[in-house]
Amino acid sequence: MTKTVTPPDVRPNNTHFSSGPCSKRPNWSLEALADAPLGRSHRAKIGKAKLKQAIDLTREILEVPADYRIGIVPASDTGAVEMALWSLLGARGVDMLAWESFGAGWVTDVVKQLKLADVRKIEAAYGELPDLSAVDFDRDVVFTWNGTTSGVRLPNADFIPADRQGLTICDATSAAFAQNLDFAKLDVTTFSWQKVLGGEGGHGVVILSPRAVERLESYTPAWPLPKIFRMTKAGKLIEGIFQGETINTPSMLCVEDYIDALLWAKQIGGLKALMARADANAQAIFDFVEQNDWIENLAKVRATRSNTSVCLTIADRDVLALDADAQAAFAKGIVALLEKEGVAYDIGAYRDAPSGLRIWAGATIDTADIEALLPWLAWAYETQKASLSKAAA
């Protein structure tokens, strides 16, 4: 007789666990955006003031040094990273670090699109970090801080020397506002506000150190730059970009949404409170994994486990005995069951990652909702396992 699995009684209040765009802040509503200057030019006084407010709040919440520039740019984090790669690389050799899908994508851009000759790839499989001791900081270095598709993050920036000769270009899109970014070690930092703060998609943020500005003003790439990548004019930084004069037209509704999220972050206690919320959410998942032998963290080393994009794999021996397609189908079955029940949405592993689950644990998620989700994970697994046993019989 097939085992009957009883579903839990308690459901999460917030069922949005996508790793991007991510959940809105607690108690968010459209009314919070009532002050958006819709139908007005972003170049008008009110538009510039809103963009400047977003930049100033970003500096305050992220604790960005006063001499670093912050700009709002097109095309989400992807646009921000591409802007940095195309504008800054080529002055010296470059080391590319990759341990998940997006880092691998930046390698492809540098090797196949920019076609730089002096490129070293320092890579690792999903679940691991590459050998950081192999990085040469006399060269430029490109890396993600938090691997959104692998759940593996840098524990700190200690591997980066203060007296480096090259620039460090860091894609921090699922780390900013949830992890402690050491800006003294980062020359270019990029993110999109659709991640940890749950803003609307389409806009990126680039943060430049004085060393990055010096490179921009002293080096001209060998290739033409599209208009939306240009941060200098006549060899000087276009300062307006970093004061709210965006390169192209932003959505003032999205900007208002970002301001709302930043004000919420400030109200709850700033960066320290945001990191604490993400840590508590991730720890609840880690505790669940420790108590259940059918599931494992994809990140092999505890210190490198992300507190935002928590990636999990199915460790059940019967499932691991199946071929890769069947293993993926088992994990997708868990995801489908939870979505059908209206309990959790968008928690499947990224398409290029090992099959499994990916649960967003960032600061806009309440720990109570994570705790309510976890028994449902067990229920969905047990339901899938019962179906697998029935099929085998």
Sign of CA dihedral 164, 170, 174, 177: positive
Phi/psi class of residue 270: alpha, beta or left (left: φ > 0; alpha: ψ in -120 to 50)? left
Do 150 and 90 share a structural domain? yes
Residue 5 lies in a domain: no
pLDDT digits (tens, 9 = 90+) for 69-115: 999 999 999 999 999 999 999 999 999 999 999 999 999 999 999 99
Residue 332 lies in a domain: yes
Residue 44 lies in a domain: yes
Residue 13 lies in a domain: no
Do 212 and 70 share a structural domain? yes
Residue 364, domain CATH: 3.90.1150.10
CA distance linking residue 286 with residue 150, whole number of Å: 15
Do 243 and 278 share a structural domain? no
Do 75 and 164 share a structural domain? yes
Residue 97, domain CATH: 3.40.640.10
Do 106 and 40 share a structural domain? yes
Is residue 344 within 8 A of residue 373, CB to CB? The reply is yes
Do 340 and 230 share a structural domain? no
pLDDT of res. 3: 56
pLDDT digits (tens, 9 = 90+) for 230-239: 999 999 999 9
* Residue stretches of the chain with pLDDT short of 50: 1-2
Do 324 and 225 share a structural domain? no
Of the candidates 159, 261, 139, 289, the residue with the CA atom closest to the CA atom of residue 200: 261
Q: What ranges make up the beta strands (E) of 298-383?
A: 309-314, 357-360
Domain carrying residue 241: 30-266
Is residue 140 within 8 A of residue 169, CB to CB? The reply is yes
Residue 221 lies in a domain: yes
pLDDT digits (tens, 9 = 90+) for 318-351: 999 999 999 999 999 999 999 999 999 999 999 9
pLDDT of res. 1: 37
Residue 14 lies in a domain: no
Do 133 and 159 share a structural domain? yes
Provide the 8-state DSSP code for 43.
Answer: T
Residue 1 lies in a domain: no
Asked which of 218, 246, 266 is the last residue of a domain, the reply is 266
β 236-237/94-98 pair status: unpaired
Asked which of 246, 266, 286 is the last residue of a domain, the reply is 266
Query: What total number of domains does the chain contain?
Result: 2
Residue 4 lies in a domain: no
pLDDT of res. 74: 97
> Cis before residue 65, ω within 30 degrees of 0?
no
Do 324 and 290 share a structural domain? yes
pLDDT of res. 393: 67
